[in-house]
Every structure is written in C-alpha cells, then in structure tokens.
Amino acid sequence: MLGDHTVRLVPFKHRHYGMLLHMLEDQEAPFLGFVSYKTLPKIGYLAMLGKHPVAAGFLRRVEGGYAQLDTFVSNRHFGSLVRHEGLSKVTEALINDAKDLKLLGILAITIDDGIIQRAKDQGFHVINQVLVGKLLD
C-alpha cells in the first residue's frame, strides 16, 4: 500500500502491452527482442498502483499438464516493497489460474536469488539441473 492507493491486479490486455515493454526495457531484459503481443501467453496479469504498472507476469501452458511462469518483470521506479507486493499478487493469481485449470504443476526458470527466494516462499522447490537451449534461425 502506498498512501491512499493499493496495488491492484488487472488481467493483461492488449492496451497494457506498451507498459510491459517499457518495464522490460527499463530492466534491460535480455529476451526483450523475443517479446511480442503474439508470443505472450494468453493468461497474464498486471499489478497497478494508480495508473502506473508495478509488475507483470504470465502463465504459459507447456506439455505434460504443467505451466511455466513467464515474462515476469517489475517497475524499477517503485521501491522494493511495492514491487514485492505487485509480484506476489501476480504470482498468487497465476497459481490460482493453474489450479483452476487443474494443471499438475508450475515451473519457473531463473538464476536471480531474489526470485528464487520468493519462489521458495510461495512453496516452489529448487530443482538443481542444467538447462540447455538453442535459438532457432
């Protein structure tokens, strides 16, 4: 909460796309060039404080009855408490959506210690494996 305002959650819509890109640019996200409205998962949320975006995240369905938390970002112009509240609300909503969809589990990929700790706080388990990937031309 900040002043008379609280962080509220809204489903991600096309009109929010510019806000998402701005947050990703501010964070110098390495995957920014791969983000387009067409590649974003259909399930996503934006945490807002007044008219300003605080955080965003998406739930990407993958094979085997699982989903992956995807394209998480927060607005660096807010303090850590507000960003944490926004990311927590986004994560909680996505977990609830996964439960409603009767998915078996949720995966997340990160090397950020803060995100790992937040995930542990939400009941995630760290799986120590090496991920390899290849970009296709």
pLDDT per position as a tens digit, 37-59: 888 999 999 999 999 999 999 99
- In this prediction, residues 58-73 reach a mean pLDDT of 92
Q: What type of residue sits at position 104?
A: L
Spell out the domains of the chain, with CATH numbers in brackets.
7-121 (3.40.630.30)
Confidence class for position 93, pLDDT limits 50, 70, 90:
very high
Kindly tell me if the per-residue pLDDT of 3 is higher than 60.
no
Helix (H) or strand (E) segment spanning residue 103: none
Give 8's strand partners.
48
Q: What is the pLDDT of residue 13?
A: 93
CA 59 from centre of chain = 8
- Note whether 64 and 104 are within 8 A (CB): yes
Q: Say what the pLDDT of residue 2 is.
A: 44
Confidence of residue 122 (pLDDT cuts 50, 70, 90): confident
**Residue 24: what residue type?**
L
pLDDT over threshold 50, residue 16? yes
How far is Cα 90 from Cα 45, in angstroms, rounded to an integer? 6
From the CB of residue 8, how many other CB atoms can be counted at a distance below 10 Å? 13
Per-residue pLDDT at 46? 96
